[in-house]
Amino acid sequence: MKLIIVSNRLPVTAGVDKSGQMTIKESSGGLVSGLKEVHRSSNSIWIGYLGGMPQEDGSIEAYCQENRLAEVRLPPEIYDAFYNGYANDTLWPLFHNFLASMSISDNHWQAYVRANEAFADKIDEHYQPGDSVWVHDYQLMLVPLMLRAKHPKIRVAYFHHIPFPSSEIFRAIPRRKELILGLLGADYIGFHTYDYSRHFIQSTRRIIGAKTKINEITLGDRPVKVSTHPLGVDVKTFGARTNPNPPLPRRMAEKDLVTILGIDRLDYTKGLPERLQAFGRFLELNPSFRGKVRLIQVCVPSRQDIESYHEIRQQVEQLVGRINGEHSESDHIPIEYIYRSLPLEEVIEHYQMADIMMVTPLRDGLNLVCKEYVAARTDLDGCLILSEFAGASAEMGEALQVNPYDINKVAETIRDALMMDQSERRHRMTALRKRTIEQDNVDWAENFIQMWNSHNNDRMKLSQYLESSAHQKFWQDLAAKQRIFLFLDYDGTLAPIEDRPELAIPSKRLDTVMDKVVKLPNVITTIVTGRPREFCERYLVKYGTGVVAEHGTFLRSDHTGWKQNVVISQEDIAKVKPEVMELLESFVNAVPGSHVEIKDSCFVWHYRECDPEFAADQAQTLGENLEQMLSKTSWSVYHGKKTVEIRQSFANKGFGVETVLELYDWDPQRDSMITVGDDTTDEDMHRVQPDWNRSIHIGQPNSYSKYHLNNPEELYSFLDLAYLSRG
């Protein structure tokens, strides 16, 4: 078994030297630094695009084979429309919240699809059953689903290295559904920050109506884990001073001159004009610092064939010229502007000499420059000014964080950084370095793979189909137990799902089955349902079993009266009812066929009789509105089968099961338990005492239960056999 790493570009750059010889060297960048150790130390192959090399003499192919690299080949015009077109003219501005810069082209989309297919085909050439595939970044969002279509049981993960916007922003793109489904072909998806993970989960819920939890999405019955893994940097490399006497620029070497440093790829997301304006404002407001402070701004050329990048370069250079013209002195120029890539050694030298580092993007997925600067400051000195819109800001609270749009505040922060005493600088840098060292690039990759493997191991534990031939053995295995606690859901389990809940009344077949169940010796049966007490009194109490109503809120044990397990005061209900009902009624009016059910302890919006696609979309919107409305209360929102339910956070079927077990002094050493249900709300039952719970899901395989049956009719046969085996 091997790991297949997939990225848009291979971790090497090929070219031709002055003599016409083919050359190849390692590339730089955050993704390469994060993955190179994994690739070197594991049984892996790295797949990516290398670039058109029409005069290839075989040396590059030999290099790739030796270094376990596999090249994806695409016609130049397809790659251009895929990469410069859809990836960077459509997805890049969308994900960075620059909707005005987003272009839409069907030709670009078709090229994006074709390129993703080419990557999937290349992966397929190298894939063997048991291999794991790790796909990287926004250029390849369709690849996971393409792979799963070829290999349904494939282990595939995806990591998103740029921001993921809120659902309101993401919904603006025409191919939103295809992109979401493409990613959900993976079984594990990683982002740099919790915000990005949350935005993605909200988008899947809103766009395709997927069932979601805090960090998991369920597509059909396949769980997709969504997790947060901030990328680190190669601390050993950036913490090493390669030259004890570096040939620094003259002005940097002058110790009486304070140096502010910016190193950025030339991109409209990096906030370069705003940074320059803030530096100019600082000089205007603090004339005493003129001649004493210098900004070295390095702009690395990027995507030079895209018009918007020509425009940002022109804007930056005009600002540099204006500020230098206004604030230069005979022996001092306030901004040194460098438009080129710097060798790694020179970058490290700049980091180690800069008094202040400014990293102020308008939006950035993470930004490793700030971490590289910290890693380089082995002297524990220096000060970091960091945009709150960089993903790394969530980890770097000791930096001076700014809103890059607030020019005056950034100018004020520059002054604060200059005036900060050494002890505070060292205190902040010490904390930043400790975290950066502990969470480096190797730790990022190893942690991701470990968590991915853990999720796959859990996913392998999907419920086993309970064949009819195994029913008798199932019950025989429990023969030695003193008591068996049997918990049965109602809708979808004991009774088929109906369009309107009031139509799901017990059938004569169910009456017959339950008559046998209550006669089972040493079996304590409880029906656990979300139905109100009135329904239970009318249709379920007659069976003589225990009944838990309204998701654990009420309990009726055998023939005793009702006991309220979850006490909800009328005052609590009155606080939320007017607003909740107003919102629910507005959706009843907007979605024909929907209706509201009011129970003693909860409110339910039903949409079983509605247009499925439209109603499912509206259910997601309703759920998001309710979550915002109830965020500071003890009420929560739950999505069931064609329902949206509002109830107390601690009221769930699992709580009802636990209450019954406690009531009867359940002991796992002498007793056994079985929970049976078909819905996400029933998974709370399956989670109770998982080591002892012989849980059964009605429907497709389920990751929260040990067994599954296809439908209520199979459950009836299963219970009939229990009567024959134990009766």
The rounded distance, in Å, linking the Cα atoms of 125 and 122 is 5
CA distance 414 to 384: 10
Contact by Cβ (8 Å): 21, 58: no
Tokens of 143: 């690849």
Alpha-carbon gap, residue 55 to 20, rounded angstroms: 10
Inter-residue contact 634 to 655 (CB < 8 Å): no
- Rounded-to-integer distance, Cα 383 and Cα 372, Å: 13
Beta carbons of 397 and 363 less than 8 angstroms apart: no
| Alpha-carbon gap, residue 145 to 134, rounded angstroms | 13
Side-chain half-sphere of 459: how many Cα atoms within 13 Å? 22
What is the separation of C-alpha 683 from the centre of its chain, rounded to a whole number of angstroms?
22
| Paired sense of beta strands 602-606 and 643-648, if any | antiparallel
Q: Which residues contact 19 (CB under 8 A, 6 or more apart)?
A: none
- The structure tokens listed for 563 are 């006991």
Nearest one of 217, 207, 214, 198 to 459, comparing CA atoms:
217
According to DSSP, the residues that pair with 156 across neighbouring strands are 133
Structural contact between residues 31 and 65, judged by C-beta atoms closer than 8 angstroms:
no
Distance CA 113, CA 175 (A): 11
Surface-to-core class of residue 190, CB atoms within 10 Å of its CB (0-12 exposed, 13-18 middle, 19+ buried): buried
For 597: left if phi > 0, alpha if psi spans -120 to 50, otherwise beta; the answer is beta
> Is there a contact between 705 and 727 (Cβ–Cβ < 8 Å)?
no
Active-site residue, from 489, 491, 678, 679: 489
Q: Which amino acid is at 451?
A: M
Q: In the chain, what is the straight-line distance between the N-terminal and C-terminal CA atoms, in Å?
A: 50
Strand partners, 487: 526, 675
Q: Determine whether 558 is an active site residue.
A: no
Active site amino acids: 489
